[in-house]
Amino acid sequence: MSAPIEFSATVSGTIRDGVLIVTLDSPPVNATSAEVRRGLKAMLEFAESSAETTAIVLTGAGKTFIGGADIKEFGKPAEEPTLPAVIEAIEAFGKPVVAALNGAALGGGLEVALACHIRIASAVAQVGLPEVKLGIVPGAGGTQRLPRLTGIAVALELIASGRIVKASEARALGIVDDVVEGDLTEAAIAVAKAMVGKPRRRTGELSVAALDPAETERASAKILAKARGQKAPGEAVRLVLSAARPLAEGLADERATFLALRDSREAAALRHVFFAEREAGKVAGLEGVEPRAVATIGICGLGLMGSGIAVAALSAGYRVIGLDQTADAAEKGRERIIGLMEKNLASGRLDQASFDAQKARLSVTANDADLSPCDLVIEAVFDDLAVKTDLFRRLDKVLRPDAILATNTSYLNPDEIAAVTQHPERVLGLHFFSPAHVMRLLEVVRCAKTAPDVLATGLAVAKKLRKLAIVTGVTEGFIGNSIFSAYRREAEFLLEDGAMPEEIDRALEDYGFPMGLFAVYDMAGLEIAWARRKRQAATRDPSDRYVEIADRLCKAGRFGQKAGRGWYVYPEGKRVVDPDVTAIIETARAKKGITPRSFSQAEILERLLAAMAAEGQRLLAEGIAARASDIDLVMINGYGFPAHKGGPMFAAG
Ligand code: 3H9
């Protein structure tokens, strides 16, 4: 083996048996920064002139092959050489180039691999072109080379969704040529040696059959329907569908599209979301704090929320002990949990062995003392202070002193719940969103006395549950429901001022929300919020503007979809405007002497977004949210705010 050869600070190689083994080492994810690109260019120049080098193996240091283009460089002036130029040089290279995928090959990373003359992968490798999730299309050949390996239909699905596939599936789809169980570098060297002097299979030179028009139509309609106004998926579809043309033409089109999208507001928003997610995990005051060990989780209250939490905990590998008020209720809870798991089994998300293992880790009881082995107990009982404080007093007696107690309250003050325990420092809030086994957001509530390692444990458990944890301080409704309340209040003001529910919903849906606010109310049911408003009536400041239209709807028995009517009516399941609702709104306006005026979509949006952003500012000023980007993530992941708009704080900026 030769002495190490440095091509740049991040790209180096050694020669063994005539094979130049090149390693990219640019933590954290070996992104193709300018430094890496310069190194690859220098490496090719060296390999070309080196008589000793007969072939190249390209691999990555650490657990990633190449994580993609360096997203931090986007928005800065371009530096030579460009990635497409490096990739073109790899594909055209006279000596065989083997990609040895030691880990994730994503975006520009997969594009590098696609230009290599053969791709072998370790079993842990993953490949994908996730660019659409960043509001862009692949910009270094992905839309043109991938279809040449997989056919247009598969490439369309992968590129338009950004789906990442495991090595075994990549092999089945023809993206990689082999999956290696043993030593990847050794296998790659053997492959490289065998390729010397043989004809090369250059991806760019392969032909690809155009898709038949019916299939094209069907596939693109499906993708565009999901895109909800985002540009990148549509552009990805256009580029992949036209991959049958000459490569150079396709590459030029792709590059121009990539550059235009990269500089768009949509891409900036999605980049903001990407970095916001990584930032959210960094919580002040927790540096070096070790979380407590958690193996067994108790869940109190096995209704819809508790069962969802149980399913999430079981699938993350925890033992779960469910508690409900009676043996009968506990058994019903167990059935509900198993029912949810069975759905996952039927859909293929869960295999039989995992199902059996999870079932074996679940037990239920109606006896508080049976929770004594728990390291963490999460309560998901009725959102009532007396019910929750009674439960916490009881739990405080049966749990080990180092066990953690979490409340899933949405609107109560967790400090008041913590105050009834002997050890308030072991109490925190874990506010799940329903259905808890599906929704990714988890608000982790730092109460006044929560100990740092208790908070750290909440975050560690959230990570294991594969949730996006956002730390929030205590305020009514925490981050999400505070902003949601402000948004809802503004929507009701708009309603009273003259906008109709369907106009407000259309404005929101055209903006990218999956469903308008009033349609969401109908889906969720209007009665719970009504009950809360009735409870709050006595303490409401009479000088506050109060819109009673929703109350009038409830009084008329319009509780939403379940009742067949709410803000809309639902003949044959389709949402339709109801003149009776219009009449209720008009009566309410008249009673207050309001002369309705018309609102443009832009005005509606502006008012709603401004209300959210103003409430967000309050949360920041009061230290409830640590950073604006945390607020954005809550609204995107819990309330349907379109990710490609970056969240309410980003949108306001
Ligand atoms: C692209 O390739 C365009 C091309 O088609 C065209 C070019 C011409 N750049 O996620 P983690 C940072 S677009 C810069 O926690 P993991 C991240 O911010 C790109 N930085 O690690 C974090 O920093 P910090 C297409 C990046 O092990 C740290 O790395 N590629 C990049 O859980 C660790 O990140 C993608 O979209 C990047 N590309 O997961 C893939 N990626 O520690 C994006 C990460 O300061 N990346 N960072 O907070 C991922 O999906 C995951 O990071 C990966 C590792 C699976 C690679």
Domain contains 412: yes
Residues 376, 486, single domain; the answer is: no
Residue (of 489, 483, 485) closest to 504 by Cα position:
489
Cβ-contact 33, 73 below 8 angstroms: yes
Cβ-contact 23, 36 below 8 angstroms: no
**C-alpha of residue 29 to centroid of ligand 1, in Å:** 6
Residues 510, 619, single domain; the answer is: yes
**C-alpha of residue 108 to centroid of ligand 1, in Å:** 11
Residues of the chain with pLDDT under 70: none
Instruction: Please give the full DSSP string across 456-467, using - where no structure is assigned.
Output: HHHHHHHHHTT-
Domain contains 365: yes
Judge whether 131 counts as a catalytic residue: yes
Would you say the CB of residue 235 lies under 6 angstroms from ligand 1?
no
Q: Which residue minimizes the CA distance to atom 24 of ligand 1? A: 278
Residues 446, 504, single domain; the answer is: no
> Residue 145 half-sphere exposure, CB side, CA atoms within 13 Å?
28
The predicted structure's pLDDT at residue 398: 96
Residues 489, 462, single domain; the answer is: no
Spatial neighbors of 543 by CB under 8 A, at least 6 apart, are none
Strand-pairing partners, residue 443, are 431, 470
Residues 449, 411, single domain; the answer is: yes
pLDDT digits (tens, 9 = 90+) for 179-208: 999 999 999 999 999 999 999 999 999 999
Please pick, among 88, 91, 131, 490, the residue that the annotation labels catalytic: 131
Instruction: Indicate which atom in ligand 1 lies nearest the CA of residue 109.
Output: 2
Would you say the CB of residue 68 lies under 6 angstroms from ligand 1?
yes
Domain contains 493: yes
Testing ligand 1's pocket by substitution, the residue of 30, 71, 74, 263 carrying the most ligand atoms inside 8 A of its CB is 71
Residues 323, 436, single domain; the answer is: yes
Residues 541, 455, single domain; the answer is: no
The predicted structure's pLDDT at residue 2: 81
The predicted structure's pLDDT at residue 532: 84
How many other CB atoms are there within 10 angstroms of residue 275's CB atom? Answer: 12
Domain contains 107: yes
Please pick, among 6, 79, 88, 111, the residue that the annotation labels catalytic: 111
Instruction: Indicate which atom in ligand 1 lies nearest the CA of residue 67.
Output: 56
The predicted structure's pLDDT at residue 212: 87
**C-alpha of residue 337 to centroid of ligand 1, in Å:** 35
**C-alpha of residue 372 to centroid of ligand 1, in Å:** 42
pLDDT digits (tens, 9 = 90+) for 116-155: 999 999 999 999 999 999 999 999 999 999 999 999 999 9
Would you say the CB of residue 87 lies under 6 angstroms from ligand 1?
no
Residues 467, 484, single domain; the answer is: no
- pTM for the structure as a whole: 0.94
d(CA 245, CA 247): 6
Q: Which of 435, 452, 472 is the last residue of a domain?
A: 472
The predicted structure's pLDDT at residue 548: 94
Q: Which residue minimizes the CA distance to atom 39 of ligand 1? A: 29
- Residue span of the structural domain in which 598 resides: 480-623
Q: Which of 472, 498, 516 is the last residue of a domain?
A: 472
Testing ligand 1's pocket by substitution, the residue of 10, 29, 35, 37 carrying the most ligand atoms inside 8 A of its CB is 29
Number of domains in the chain: 3
Would you say the CB of residue 128 lies under 6 angstroms from ligand 1?
no
The predicted structure's pLDDT at residue 213: 87
Residues 590, 465, single domain; the answer is: no
